[in-house]
Structure 1
Amino acid sequence: MSSLATIVPFASGESEGGGFHVPSIADFFPPAVFFEGTVFEINRLQLVRFVAAAALIIIFVIGARRAKLVPGRFQNALEMLLDFVRVNVAEEILGKEKAQKYVALLTTVFMAILAFNLTGVIPGLNIAGTSLIGLPVMLALWVYVMYLGAGVKAHGIGGFLKTSLFPPGVPPFLYVLLTPVEFLTVFILRPATLAIRLMANMVAGHLMLVLCFSATQYFLFEAAPAMKAFGAFTLLGGFAITLFELFVAALQAYIFVILAAVYISLSIEEEH
Protein backbone atom coordinates (compact mmCIF):
# COMPACT_ATOMS: atom_id res chain seq x y z
CA MET A 1 0.00 0.00 0.00
CA SER A 2 3.03 2.31 0.10
CA SER A 3 2.37 3.68 -3.37
CA LEU A 4 -1.42 3.59 -3.27
CA ALA A 5 -1.71 7.09 -1.83
CA THR A 6 0.22 8.59 -4.71
CA ILE A 7 -1.19 6.41 -7.47
CA VAL A 8 -4.86 7.11 -6.87
CA PRO A 9 -4.99 10.93 -6.89
CA PHE A 10 -2.76 11.34 -9.94
CA ALA A 11 -3.42 8.26 -12.00
CA SER A 12 -6.92 6.98 -11.39
CA GLY A 13 -8.77 9.85 -13.01
CA GLU A 14 -10.63 10.45 -9.79
CA SER A 15 -13.33 13.11 -9.86
CA GLU A 16 -15.18 14.82 -7.07
CA GLY A 17 -17.79 12.09 -6.80
CA GLY A 18 -17.34 8.79 -5.01
CA GLY A 19 -17.20 5.31 -6.46
CA PHE A 20 -14.69 3.37 -8.48
CA HIS A 21 -12.84 5.39 -11.11
CA VAL A 22 -11.17 3.45 -13.89
CA PRO A 23 -7.86 4.65 -15.33
CA SER A 24 -7.92 6.38 -18.69
CA ILE A 25 -5.60 7.86 -21.29
CA ALA A 26 -6.02 11.21 -19.53
CA ASP A 27 -3.65 9.88 -16.85
CA PHE A 28 -0.78 10.49 -19.25
CA PHE A 29 -1.66 14.15 -19.83
CA PRO A 30 -1.55 15.64 -16.31
CA PRO A 31 -2.15 19.37 -15.72
CA ALA A 32 0.75 21.77 -15.60
CA VAL A 33 2.70 22.10 -12.37
CA PHE A 34 4.94 25.01 -13.33
CA PHE A 35 4.77 27.77 -15.96
CA GLU A 36 1.24 26.91 -17.07
CA GLY A 37 0.28 28.37 -20.45
CA THR A 38 3.87 29.07 -21.53
CA VAL A 39 6.29 27.23 -23.84
CA PHE A 40 8.19 26.18 -20.69
CA GLU A 41 5.16 24.45 -19.16
CA ILE A 42 6.13 21.50 -16.96
CA ASN A 43 3.72 18.80 -15.84
CA ARG A 44 4.08 15.88 -13.47
CA LEU A 45 5.26 13.46 -16.16
CA GLN A 46 8.07 15.81 -17.15
CA LEU A 47 9.06 16.17 -13.50
CA VAL A 48 9.29 12.39 -13.27
CA ARG A 49 11.62 12.41 -16.27
CA PHE A 50 13.78 15.10 -14.66
CA VAL A 51 14.01 13.05 -11.47
CA ALA A 52 14.95 9.88 -13.37
CA ALA A 53 17.59 11.67 -15.45
CA ALA A 54 19.08 13.39 -12.39
CA ALA A 55 19.16 10.13 -10.43
CA LEU A 56 20.88 8.32 -13.29
CA ILE A 57 23.53 11.01 -13.63
CA ILE A 58 24.15 11.17 -9.88
CA ILE A 59 24.48 7.38 -9.58
CA PHE A 60 27.11 7.16 -12.30
CA VAL A 61 29.00 10.26 -11.16
CA ILE A 62 29.24 8.81 -7.66
CA GLY A 63 30.25 5.44 -9.11
CA ALA A 64 32.99 7.02 -11.24
CA ARG A 65 34.39 9.16 -8.42
CA ARG A 66 34.46 6.27 -5.95
CA ALA A 67 35.84 3.70 -8.38
CA LYS A 68 38.44 1.42 -6.83
CA LEU A 69 40.73 -1.32 -8.07
CA VAL A 70 38.86 -3.74 -5.80
CA PRO A 71 35.23 -2.77 -6.33
CA GLY A 72 32.57 -2.78 -3.66
CA ARG A 73 28.95 -3.85 -4.13
CA PHE A 74 27.83 -0.52 -5.60
CA GLN A 75 30.67 -0.41 -8.11
CA ASN A 76 30.16 -4.08 -8.92
CA ALA A 77 26.51 -3.49 -9.73
CA LEU A 78 27.33 -0.61 -12.08
CA GLU A 79 30.12 -2.55 -13.77
CA MET A 80 27.81 -5.52 -14.28
CA LEU A 81 25.31 -3.30 -16.09
CA LEU A 82 28.01 -1.71 -18.22
CA ASP A 83 29.59 -5.07 -19.07
CA PHE A 84 26.19 -6.52 -19.88
CA VAL A 85 25.60 -3.95 -22.62
CA ARG A 86 29.20 -4.03 -23.87
CA VAL A 87 29.59 -7.82 -23.99
CA ASN A 88 26.10 -9.28 -24.35
CA VAL A 89 24.74 -6.66 -26.72
CA ALA A 90 27.42 -4.65 -28.54
CA GLU A 91 30.16 -7.28 -28.94
CA GLU A 92 27.72 -10.15 -29.41
CA ILE A 93 25.92 -8.47 -32.30
CA LEU A 94 28.49 -6.11 -33.82
CA GLY A 95 31.71 -7.95 -33.04
CA LYS A 96 34.52 -6.71 -30.83
CA GLU A 97 36.12 -4.40 -33.39
CA LYS A 98 32.98 -2.61 -34.52
CA ALA A 99 31.35 -2.63 -31.09
CA GLN A 100 33.79 -0.13 -29.60
CA LYS A 101 32.39 2.67 -31.73
CA TYR A 102 28.81 2.12 -30.56
CA VAL A 103 29.16 0.97 -26.95
CA ALA A 104 28.62 4.49 -25.59
CA LEU A 105 25.42 4.93 -27.61
CA LEU A 106 23.99 1.55 -26.70
CA THR A 107 24.88 1.88 -23.02
CA THR A 108 23.35 5.36 -22.77
CA VAL A 109 20.15 4.23 -24.47
CA PHE A 110 19.84 1.15 -22.28
CA MET A 111 20.46 2.97 -19.01
CA ALA A 112 18.15 5.86 -19.92
CA ILE A 113 15.26 3.62 -20.90
CA LEU A 114 15.73 1.44 -17.83
CA ALA A 115 15.70 4.50 -15.54
CA PHE A 116 12.65 6.05 -17.20
CA ASN A 117 10.78 2.72 -17.19
CA LEU A 118 11.44 2.05 -13.51
CA THR A 119 9.77 5.29 -12.43
CA GLY A 120 6.48 3.55 -13.11
CA VAL A 121 6.87 1.40 -9.98
CA ILE A 122 8.66 3.84 -7.67
CA PRO A 123 6.35 5.18 -4.91
CA GLY A 124 5.79 8.88 -5.27
CA LEU A 125 6.50 8.85 -9.02
CA ASN A 126 4.21 6.03 -10.19
CA ILE A 127 4.35 6.71 -13.91
CA ALA A 128 6.96 5.65 -16.44
CA GLY A 129 8.79 8.47 -18.17
CA THR A 130 8.49 6.51 -21.42
CA SER A 131 4.69 6.17 -21.23
CA LEU A 132 4.13 9.23 -23.45
CA ILE A 133 5.26 8.95 -27.06
CA GLY A 134 7.56 11.99 -27.14
CA LEU A 135 10.49 10.44 -25.27
CA PRO A 136 10.36 7.05 -27.06
CA VAL A 137 10.26 8.93 -30.39
CA MET A 138 13.34 10.97 -29.46
CA LEU A 139 15.25 7.81 -28.49
CA ALA A 140 14.11 6.01 -31.65
CA LEU A 141 15.14 8.97 -33.82
CA TRP A 142 18.57 8.97 -32.19
CA VAL A 143 19.01 5.30 -33.10
CA TYR A 144 17.54 6.00 -36.57
CA VAL A 145 20.07 8.74 -37.31
CA MET A 146 22.91 6.60 -35.97
CA TYR A 147 22.19 3.52 -38.06
CA LEU A 148 21.55 5.55 -41.22
CA GLY A 149 24.75 7.51 -40.61
CA ALA A 150 26.70 4.30 -39.95
CA GLY A 151 25.40 2.76 -43.17
CA VAL A 152 26.17 5.82 -45.28
CA LYS A 153 29.65 6.11 -43.76
CA ALA A 154 30.37 2.43 -44.42
CA HIS A 155 29.01 2.24 -47.98
CA GLY A 156 28.32 5.78 -49.21
CA ILE A 157 24.80 6.96 -49.97
CA GLY A 158 24.48 4.92 -53.15
CA GLY A 159 25.98 1.80 -51.65
CA PHE A 160 23.82 2.01 -48.55
CA LEU A 161 20.64 2.39 -50.61
CA LYS A 162 21.69 -0.50 -52.83
CA THR A 163 22.43 -2.92 -49.98
CA SER A 164 19.31 -1.83 -48.07
CA LEU A 165 16.75 -1.71 -50.88
CA PHE A 166 18.08 -4.31 -53.31
CA PRO A 167 19.15 -7.38 -51.31
CA PRO A 168 21.60 -9.59 -53.21
CA GLY A 169 20.61 -13.05 -54.36
CA VAL A 170 17.06 -12.04 -55.27
CA PRO A 171 15.75 -12.36 -58.85
CA PRO A 172 15.56 -8.83 -60.34
CA PHE A 173 11.84 -9.05 -61.17
CA LEU A 174 11.07 -9.46 -57.43
CA TYR A 175 12.56 -6.05 -56.66
CA VAL A 176 9.28 -4.51 -57.83
CA LEU A 177 7.65 -6.03 -54.75
CA LEU A 178 10.61 -6.29 -52.41
CA THR A 179 12.14 -2.81 -52.72
CA PRO A 180 9.05 -0.90 -51.47
CA VAL A 181 8.82 -3.26 -48.52
CA GLU A 182 12.52 -2.77 -47.72
CA PHE A 183 12.10 1.00 -48.00
CA LEU A 184 9.22 0.98 -45.52
CA THR A 185 11.16 -1.31 -43.19
CA VAL A 186 14.44 0.64 -43.18
CA PHE A 187 13.15 4.20 -43.21
CA ILE A 188 9.76 4.05 -41.47
CA LEU A 189 8.92 0.83 -39.64
CA ARG A 190 12.16 0.40 -37.69
CA PRO A 191 12.03 3.72 -35.80
CA ALA A 192 8.23 3.62 -35.53
CA THR A 193 8.13 0.15 -33.99
CA LEU A 194 10.95 1.00 -31.58
CA ALA A 195 9.00 3.94 -30.19
CA ILE A 196 5.53 2.38 -30.24
CA ARG A 197 6.60 -0.92 -28.65
CA LEU A 198 8.28 0.86 -25.75
CA MET A 199 5.43 3.28 -25.12
CA ALA A 200 2.66 0.69 -25.47
CA ASN A 201 4.19 -1.65 -22.89
CA MET A 202 4.66 1.15 -20.36
CA VAL A 203 1.12 2.46 -20.90
CA ALA A 204 -0.37 -1.01 -20.47
CA GLY A 205 1.59 -1.65 -17.29
CA HIS A 206 0.60 1.69 -15.77
CA LEU A 207 -3.09 1.13 -16.51
CA MET A 208 -2.98 -2.35 -14.97
CA LEU A 209 -1.29 -1.06 -11.82
CA VAL A 210 -3.73 1.81 -11.44
CA LEU A 211 -6.69 -0.50 -12.01
CA CYS A 212 -5.58 -2.89 -9.27
CA PHE A 213 -4.70 -0.26 -6.66
CA SER A 214 -7.75 1.91 -7.42
CA ALA A 215 -9.94 -1.17 -7.07
CA THR A 216 -8.20 -1.94 -3.77
CA GLN A 217 -9.01 1.52 -2.44
CA TYR A 218 -12.61 1.21 -3.59
CA PHE A 219 -13.16 -2.24 -2.08
CA LEU A 220 -11.50 -1.41 1.25
CA PHE A 221 -12.88 2.08 1.85
CA GLU A 222 -16.02 2.61 -0.24
CA ALA A 223 -17.60 -0.72 -1.19
CA ALA A 224 -20.27 -2.53 0.80
CA PRO A 225 -18.96 -4.68 3.69
CA ALA A 226 -19.69 -7.90 1.78
CA MET A 227 -17.32 -6.81 -1.00
CA LYS A 228 -14.38 -5.68 1.13
CA ALA A 229 -12.73 -9.09 0.91
CA PHE A 230 -12.19 -8.51 -2.80
CA GLY A 231 -9.72 -5.79 -1.80
CA ALA A 232 -7.26 -8.47 -0.71
CA PHE A 233 -7.31 -10.02 -4.19
CA THR A 234 -6.84 -6.71 -6.01
CA LEU A 235 -4.05 -5.72 -3.60
CA LEU A 236 -2.29 -9.03 -4.23
CA GLY A 237 -2.81 -8.53 -7.95
CA GLY A 238 -1.29 -5.05 -7.69
CA PHE A 239 1.86 -6.37 -6.02
CA ALA A 240 2.12 -9.17 -8.58
CA ILE A 241 1.82 -6.71 -11.46
CA THR A 242 4.38 -4.45 -9.77
CA LEU A 243 6.90 -7.31 -9.83
CA PHE A 244 5.94 -8.06 -13.43
CA GLU A 245 6.44 -4.39 -14.34
CA LEU A 246 9.97 -4.51 -12.93
CA PHE A 247 10.66 -7.36 -15.33
CA VAL A 248 8.99 -5.55 -18.24
CA ALA A 249 10.93 -2.35 -17.52
CA ALA A 250 14.23 -4.20 -17.86
CA LEU A 251 13.02 -6.34 -20.76
CA GLN A 252 11.89 -3.35 -22.83
CA ALA A 253 15.21 -1.57 -22.29
CA TYR A 254 16.97 -4.75 -23.41
CA ILE A 255 14.77 -5.22 -26.49
CA PHE A 256 15.22 -1.59 -27.53
CA VAL A 257 19.01 -1.72 -27.29
CA ILE A 258 19.22 -5.16 -28.93
CA LEU A 259 17.21 -3.91 -31.91
CA ALA A 260 19.32 -0.75 -32.06
CA ALA A 261 22.47 -2.89 -32.28
CA VAL A 262 20.88 -5.16 -34.90
CA TYR A 263 19.86 -2.19 -37.05
CA ILE A 264 23.36 -0.73 -36.88
CA SER A 265 24.83 -4.13 -37.75
CA LEU A 266 22.53 -4.46 -40.75
CA SER A 267 23.51 -0.97 -41.94
CA ILE A 268 27.26 -1.56 -41.88
CA GLU A 269 27.34 -5.15 -43.18
CA GLU A 270 28.36 -5.66 -46.78
CA GLU A 271 25.43 -7.96 -47.49
CA HIS A 272 22.28 -8.73 -45.51
Structure 2
Amino acid sequence: MALFANAVQLVTPTLNFMAEEFHAPSISEFFPDIVLFEGTPFAMNRIMMIRVLMTVLLLVLFWLGTRKMRVIPTRGQSLTEMALDFVRVNIAEDLLGKVDGRRFLPILTAMFFTVLAFNITGIVPGLNIAASAVIGLPLVLALVSYVTFIYAGVKKSPKKFFKNSLFPAGVPKPIYIIVTPIELISTFIIRPVTLTLRLLMNMMVGHLLLVLLFAATQFFLFSGEGFFKLFGIGTFAFGFAFTLFEIMVAALQAYVFTLLTAVYIQLALAEEH
Protein backbone atom coordinates (compact mmCIF):
# COMPACT_ATOMS: atom_id res chain seq x y z
CA MET A 1 0.00 0.00 0.00
CA ALA A 2 2.80 2.40 0.82
CA LEU A 3 4.47 1.68 -2.52
CA PHE A 4 1.19 2.27 -4.34
CA ALA A 5 0.64 5.54 -2.47
CA ASN A 6 4.14 6.74 -3.38
CA ALA A 7 3.52 5.91 -7.04
CA VAL A 8 0.27 7.84 -7.02
CA GLN A 9 2.00 10.82 -5.44
CA LEU A 10 4.66 10.76 -8.17
CA VAL A 11 2.19 10.51 -11.08
CA THR A 12 -0.57 12.81 -9.81
CA PRO A 13 1.31 16.14 -10.16
CA THR A 14 2.15 15.34 -13.79
CA LEU A 15 -1.43 14.34 -14.61
CA ASN A 16 -2.80 17.41 -12.87
CA PHE A 17 -0.32 19.59 -14.74
CA MET A 18 -1.41 18.12 -18.08
CA ALA A 19 -5.09 18.54 -17.24
CA GLU A 20 -4.61 22.16 -16.26
CA GLU A 21 -2.45 23.26 -19.21
CA PHE A 22 -3.54 21.28 -22.27
CA HIS A 23 -6.65 22.50 -24.08
CA ALA A 24 -8.09 20.16 -26.68
CA PRO A 25 -9.90 21.62 -29.72
CA SER A 26 -13.65 21.98 -29.44
CA ILE A 27 -16.64 22.79 -31.64
CA SER A 28 -16.57 26.37 -30.35
CA GLU A 29 -13.61 27.05 -32.67
CA PHE A 30 -16.02 27.03 -35.59
CA PHE A 31 -18.13 29.77 -34.01
CA PRO A 32 -15.67 32.55 -33.11
CA ASP A 33 -16.71 35.85 -31.59
CA ILE A 34 -18.05 38.69 -33.72
CA VAL A 35 -15.28 41.17 -34.53
CA LEU A 36 -17.01 43.62 -36.89
CA PHE A 37 -20.49 45.16 -37.13
CA GLU A 38 -21.81 43.35 -34.07
CA GLY A 39 -25.56 43.64 -33.63
CA THR A 40 -26.19 44.28 -37.34
CA PRO A 41 -27.16 41.95 -40.23
CA PHE A 42 -23.58 42.39 -41.48
CA ALA A 43 -21.92 41.03 -38.33
CA MET A 44 -18.63 39.30 -39.17
CA ASN A 45 -16.54 36.83 -37.25
CA ARG A 46 -13.08 35.56 -38.17
CA ILE A 47 -14.37 32.91 -40.58
CA MET A 48 -16.51 35.44 -42.45
CA MET A 49 -13.51 37.75 -42.74
CA ILE A 50 -11.45 34.88 -44.19
CA ARG A 51 -14.19 34.28 -46.78
CA VAL A 52 -14.19 37.93 -47.79
CA LEU A 53 -10.39 37.96 -47.95
CA MET A 54 -10.20 34.86 -50.17
CA THR A 55 -12.98 36.11 -52.44
CA VAL A 56 -11.14 39.39 -53.00
CA LEU A 57 -7.88 37.50 -53.52
CA LEU A 58 -9.46 35.23 -56.15
CA LEU A 59 -10.94 38.19 -58.01
CA VAL A 60 -7.63 40.06 -57.97
CA LEU A 61 -5.61 37.04 -59.14
CA PHE A 62 -7.91 36.28 -62.06
CA TRP A 63 -8.15 39.96 -62.95
CA LEU A 64 -4.37 40.25 -63.02
CA GLY A 65 -4.09 37.05 -65.03
CA THR A 66 -6.61 38.02 -67.70
CA ARG A 67 -6.53 41.81 -67.96
CA LYS A 68 -3.97 41.92 -70.78
CA MET A 69 -4.35 38.74 -72.80
CA ARG A 70 -1.60 38.22 -75.37
CA VAL A 71 -0.96 35.77 -78.19
CA ILE A 72 2.38 35.04 -76.55
CA PRO A 73 1.28 34.77 -72.91
CA THR A 74 3.14 36.17 -69.96
CA ARG A 75 3.98 33.94 -67.02
CA GLY A 76 0.92 35.12 -65.11
CA GLN A 77 -1.35 34.60 -68.10
CA SER A 78 0.09 31.11 -68.64
CA LEU A 79 -0.59 30.10 -65.04
CA THR A 80 -4.13 31.47 -65.25
CA GLU A 81 -4.81 29.63 -68.50
CA MET A 82 -3.42 26.39 -67.08
CA ALA A 83 -5.69 26.69 -64.07
CA LEU A 84 -8.76 27.44 -66.18
CA ASP A 85 -7.91 24.68 -68.66
CA PHE A 86 -7.74 22.15 -65.84
CA VAL A 87 -11.43 22.66 -65.10
CA ARG A 88 -12.39 22.99 -68.77
CA VAL A 89 -10.57 19.89 -70.01
CA ASN A 90 -10.69 17.52 -67.03
CA ILE A 91 -14.19 18.26 -65.74
CA ALA A 92 -16.43 20.30 -68.04
CA GLU A 93 -15.63 19.01 -71.53
CA ASP A 94 -14.62 15.54 -70.36
CA LEU A 95 -18.06 14.90 -68.87
CA LEU A 96 -20.38 17.23 -70.76
CA GLY A 97 -18.75 17.48 -74.18
CA LYS A 98 -17.50 20.67 -75.80
CA VAL A 99 -20.89 22.32 -76.36
CA ASP A 100 -22.47 21.74 -72.93
CA GLY A 101 -19.05 21.87 -71.29
CA ARG A 102 -18.49 25.44 -72.45
CA ARG A 103 -22.07 26.29 -71.54
CA PHE A 104 -21.63 25.31 -67.89
CA LEU A 105 -17.92 26.12 -67.66
CA PRO A 106 -18.32 29.48 -65.83
CA ILE A 107 -20.26 27.98 -62.93
CA LEU A 108 -18.03 24.90 -62.69
CA THR A 109 -14.89 27.06 -62.75
CA ALA A 110 -16.22 29.42 -60.10
CA MET A 111 -17.24 26.46 -57.94
CA PHE A 112 -13.87 24.71 -58.20
CA PHE A 113 -11.72 27.73 -57.33
CA THR A 114 -14.09 28.93 -54.61
CA VAL A 115 -13.99 25.58 -52.83
CA LEU A 116 -10.22 25.29 -53.32
CA ALA A 117 -9.51 28.79 -52.00
CA PHE A 118 -11.81 28.43 -49.02
CA ASN A 119 -10.41 24.98 -48.18
CA ILE A 120 -6.74 25.90 -48.36
CA THR A 121 -7.04 28.55 -45.63
CA GLY A 122 -7.04 25.71 -43.12
CA ILE A 123 -3.25 25.42 -43.43
CA VAL A 124 -2.39 29.10 -44.01
CA PRO A 125 -0.55 30.57 -40.98
CA GLY A 126 -2.60 33.29 -39.34
CA LEU A 127 -5.87 32.02 -40.81
CA ASN A 128 -5.66 28.43 -39.55
CA ILE A 129 -9.20 27.37 -40.38
CA ALA A 130 -10.94 26.40 -43.60
CA ALA A 131 -13.62 28.90 -44.56
CA SER A 132 -15.70 25.91 -45.69
CA ALA A 133 -15.56 24.26 -42.25
CA VAL A 134 -18.90 25.83 -41.24
CA ILE A 135 -22.05 24.49 -42.85
CA GLY A 136 -23.24 27.75 -44.43
CA LEU A 137 -20.81 27.78 -47.34
CA PRO A 138 -21.00 24.05 -48.24
CA LEU A 139 -24.79 24.27 -48.08
CA VAL A 140 -24.94 27.31 -50.39
CA LEU A 141 -22.61 25.66 -52.91
CA ALA A 142 -24.62 22.43 -52.76
CA LEU A 143 -27.80 24.41 -53.45
CA VAL A 144 -26.09 26.08 -56.43
CA SER A 145 -25.20 22.62 -57.74
CA TYR A 146 -28.76 21.43 -57.07
CA VAL A 147 -30.39 24.34 -58.90
CA THR A 148 -27.93 24.04 -61.79
CA PHE A 149 -28.60 20.40 -62.59
CA ILE A 150 -32.37 20.85 -62.26
CA TYR A 151 -32.17 23.89 -64.55
CA ALA A 152 -30.13 21.88 -67.05
CA GLY A 153 -32.68 19.05 -67.06
CA VAL A 154 -35.74 21.29 -67.30
CA LYS A 155 -34.09 23.35 -70.04
CA LYS A 156 -33.30 20.22 -72.04
CA SER A 157 -36.68 18.48 -71.52
CA PRO A 158 -39.24 20.83 -69.94
CA LYS A 159 -42.07 18.29 -69.95
CA LYS A 160 -40.14 15.09 -69.30
CA PHE A 161 -37.35 15.85 -66.85
CA PHE A 162 -39.19 15.22 -63.58
CA LYS A 163 -41.27 12.42 -65.07
CA ASN A 164 -38.24 10.52 -66.37
CA SER A 165 -36.31 11.19 -63.17
CA LEU A 166 -39.05 9.74 -60.97
CA PHE A 167 -40.45 7.16 -63.39
CA PRO A 168 -37.50 5.58 -65.25
CA ALA A 169 -38.34 3.99 -68.58
CA GLY A 170 -38.56 0.22 -68.83
CA VAL A 171 -39.69 -0.39 -65.24
CA PRO A 172 -42.95 -2.39 -64.79
CA LYS A 173 -45.68 -0.08 -63.50
CA PRO A 174 -46.26 -1.88 -60.15
CA ILE A 175 -42.55 -1.51 -59.35
CA TYR A 176 -42.87 2.29 -59.49
CA ILE A 177 -44.34 2.08 -55.98
CA ILE A 178 -40.82 1.18 -54.82
CA VAL A 179 -38.67 2.85 -57.46
CA THR A 180 -40.25 6.33 -57.46
CA PRO A 181 -39.70 7.10 -53.73
CA ILE A 182 -36.12 5.84 -54.05
CA GLU A 183 -35.48 8.04 -57.08
CA LEU A 184 -37.08 11.03 -55.35
CA ILE A 185 -34.87 10.66 -52.29
CA SER A 186 -31.65 9.80 -54.13
CA THR A 187 -31.96 12.45 -56.86
CA PHE A 188 -33.60 15.40 -55.17
CA ILE A 189 -32.72 14.99 -51.49
CA ILE A 190 -29.59 12.90 -51.04
CA ARG A 191 -27.50 14.76 -53.63
CA PRO A 192 -27.40 18.19 -51.95
CA VAL A 193 -27.12 16.60 -48.51
CA THR A 194 -24.12 14.45 -49.45
CA LEU A 195 -22.41 17.33 -51.26
CA THR A 196 -22.79 19.50 -48.16
CA LEU A 197 -21.71 16.91 -45.60
CA ARG A 198 -18.76 15.56 -47.60
CA LEU A 199 -17.14 18.98 -47.88
CA LEU A 200 -18.09 20.12 -44.38
CA MET A 201 -16.90 17.02 -42.51
CA ASN A 202 -13.59 16.76 -44.34
CA MET A 203 -12.72 20.34 -43.49
CA MET A 204 -13.95 20.11 -39.90
CA VAL A 205 -12.04 16.92 -39.13
CA GLY A 206 -8.89 18.21 -40.79
CA HIS A 207 -8.96 21.37 -38.70
CA LEU A 208 -9.56 19.49 -35.45
CA LEU A 209 -6.70 17.07 -36.16
CA LEU A 210 -4.24 19.85 -36.92
CA VAL A 211 -5.24 21.86 -33.85
CA LEU A 212 -4.97 18.77 -31.66
CA LEU A 213 -1.51 17.85 -32.95
CA PHE A 214 0.01 21.32 -32.81
CA ALA A 215 -1.59 22.12 -29.46
CA ALA A 216 -0.07 18.91 -28.14
CA THR A 217 3.28 19.89 -29.66
CA GLN A 218 3.23 23.27 -27.94
CA PHE A 219 2.27 21.69 -24.65
CA PHE A 220 4.89 18.95 -24.68
CA LEU A 221 7.75 21.17 -25.85
CA PHE A 222 7.10 24.23 -23.72
CA SER A 223 5.12 22.97 -20.76
CA GLY A 224 6.03 19.31 -20.49
CA GLU A 225 8.59 18.02 -18.04
CA GLY A 226 11.37 15.50 -18.54
CA PHE A 227 10.83 12.81 -21.15
CA PHE A 228 7.38 14.27 -22.00
CA LYS A 229 9.19 16.82 -24.17
CA LEU A 230 10.10 13.99 -26.54
CA PHE A 231 6.42 13.48 -27.33
CA GLY A 232 6.44 16.97 -28.83
CA ILE A 233 8.75 15.80 -31.61
CA GLY A 234 6.33 13.05 -32.53
CA THR A 235 3.24 15.26 -32.48
CA PHE A 236 5.04 17.89 -34.56
CA ALA A 237 6.02 15.27 -37.16
CA PHE A 238 2.45 14.03 -37.36
CA GLY A 239 1.20 17.62 -37.54
CA PHE A 240 3.53 18.42 -40.43
CA ALA A 241 2.50 15.24 -42.27
CA PHE A 242 -1.20 16.03 -41.77
CA THR A 243 -0.61 19.58 -43.02
CA LEU A 244 0.68 18.18 -46.32
CA PHE A 245 -2.23 15.76 -46.35
CA GLU A 246 -4.67 18.64 -45.82
CA ILE A 247 -3.29 20.40 -48.90
CA MET A 248 -4.15 17.30 -50.91
CA VAL A 249 -7.57 17.04 -49.27
CA ALA A 250 -8.33 20.71 -49.99
CA ALA A 251 -7.60 20.24 -53.70
CA LEU A 252 -9.30 16.83 -53.86
CA GLN A 253 -12.50 18.10 -52.25
CA ALA A 254 -12.66 21.00 -54.70
CA TYR A 255 -12.21 18.55 -57.57
CA VAL A 256 -14.77 16.05 -56.24
CA PHE A 257 -17.38 18.72 -55.49
CA THR A 258 -17.07 20.19 -59.00
CA LEU A 259 -16.87 16.77 -60.64
CA LEU A 260 -20.06 15.57 -58.96
CA THR A 261 -21.84 18.75 -60.01
CA ALA A 262 -20.79 18.05 -63.60
CA VAL A 263 -21.95 14.43 -63.27
CA TYR A 264 -25.37 15.57 -62.03
CA ILE A 265 -25.64 17.99 -64.95
CA GLN A 266 -24.64 15.21 -67.33
CA LEU A 267 -27.35 12.93 -65.93
CA ALA A 268 -29.92 15.71 -66.24
CA LEU A 269 -28.95 16.20 -69.89
CA ALA A 270 -29.09 12.49 -70.73
CA GLU A 271 -31.13 11.57 -73.79
CA GLU A 272 -33.82 9.75 -71.82
CA HIS A 273 -34.71 13.13 -70.28
Paired position in structure 1 for 2:95 = 93
Identity score, percent: 51
Find the partner of 1:127 among 126, 129, 144: 129
For the pair 1:83 / 2:85, whether they are aligned, the reply is: yes
Runs of 4+ in 1 over 3 A off after TM superposition: none
TM-score norm. by structure 1 comes to 0.90
Paired position in structure 2 for 1:205 = 206
Distance 1:42 1:57 in 2: 20
Supply the AA of the counterpart residue of 1:129: A
* Structure 1 residue 18, shift from structure 2 partner: 4.5
SS in structure 2 at match of 1:68: coil
Paired position in structure 1 for 2:45 = 43
Paired position in structure 2 for 1:219 = 220
**Deviating more after overlay: 38-47 vs 125-134:** 38-47
Paired position in structure 2 for 1:117 = 119
Please list the CA deviations of residues 195-233 of structure 1 after superposition, one character each: whole Å capped at 9, or x if unmatched.
111011000100011011000000011111220011111
Distance 1:196 1:41 in 2: 25
Distance 1:216 1:67 in 2: 48
Alignment of 1:177-216 (within 5 A): 177-216=178-217
Q: Assess, with a 3 A threshold, how the Cα gap between structure 1 residues 162 and 68 changes in structure 2: closer, same or farther.
A: same
Paired position in structure 1 for 2:35 = 33
Distance 1:101 1:47 in 2: 32
* Structure 1 residue 27, shift from structure 2 partner: 0.6
Supply the AA of the counterpart residue of 1:121: I
Distance 2:39 2:106 in 1: 37
SS in structure 1 at match of 2:262: helix
Supply the AA of the counterpart residue of 1:155: S
> Is the 2:156–2:269 Cα contact (8 Å) retained in structure 1?
yes
**Deviating more after overlay: 231-240 vs 70-79:** 70-79
Please list the CA deviations of residues 100-155 of structure 1 after superposition, one character each: whole Å capped at 9, or x if unmatched.
11001100000110000011111111110100000111111111111111111111
Supply the AA of the counterpart residue of 1:74: G
* Structure 1 residue 69, shift from structure 2 partner: 2.2
SS in structure 2 at match of 1:242: helix
Q: How big is the alpha-carbon RMSD for the aligned residues of Structure 1 and Structure 2?
A: 1.3
SS in structure 1 at match of 2:157: helix
Distance 1:247 1:195 in 2: 19
> Is the 2:32–2:47 Cα contact (8 Å) retained in structure 1?
yes
Paired position in structure 2 for 1:54 = 56
Distance 2:84 2:225 in 1: 52
> Is the 2:66–2:80 Cα contact (8 Å) retained in structure 1?
no
Paired position in structure 1 for 2:238 = 237
Paired position in structure 1 for 2:10 = none
Paired position in structure 2 for 1:7 = none
For the pair 1:169 / 2:173, whether they are aligned, the reply is: no
Distance 1:48 1:204 in 2: 19
Distance 1:169 1:73 in 2: 54
SS in structure 2 at match of 1:22: coil
Unpaired runs of 5+ in structure 2? 1-18
Please list the CA deviations of residues 148-203 of structure 1 after superposition, one character each: whole Å capped at 9, or x if unmatched.
111111111x4011111111222222211111011011211111111111011000
SS in structure 1 at match of 2:224: coil
SS in structure 1 at match of 2:119: helix
Find the partner of 1:140 among 116, 139, 142: 142
* Structure 1 residue 76, shift from structure 2 partner: 2.2
Find the partner of 2:24 among 22, 26, 29: 22
For the pair 1:106 / 2:108, whether they are aligned, the reply is: yes
Paired position in structure 2 for 1:260 = 261
> Is the 1:163–1:270 Cα contact (8 Å) retained in structure 2?
no
Supply the AA of the counterpart residue of 1:229: L
SS in structure 1 at match of 2:21: coil
TM-score norm. by structure 2 comes to 0.90
**Deviating more after overlay: 63-72 vs 21-30:** 63-72
Distance 2:226 2:169 in 1: 70
SS in structure 1 at match of 2:177: helix
Supply the AA of the counterpart residue of 1:53: T
Unpaired runs of 5+ in structure 1? 1-16
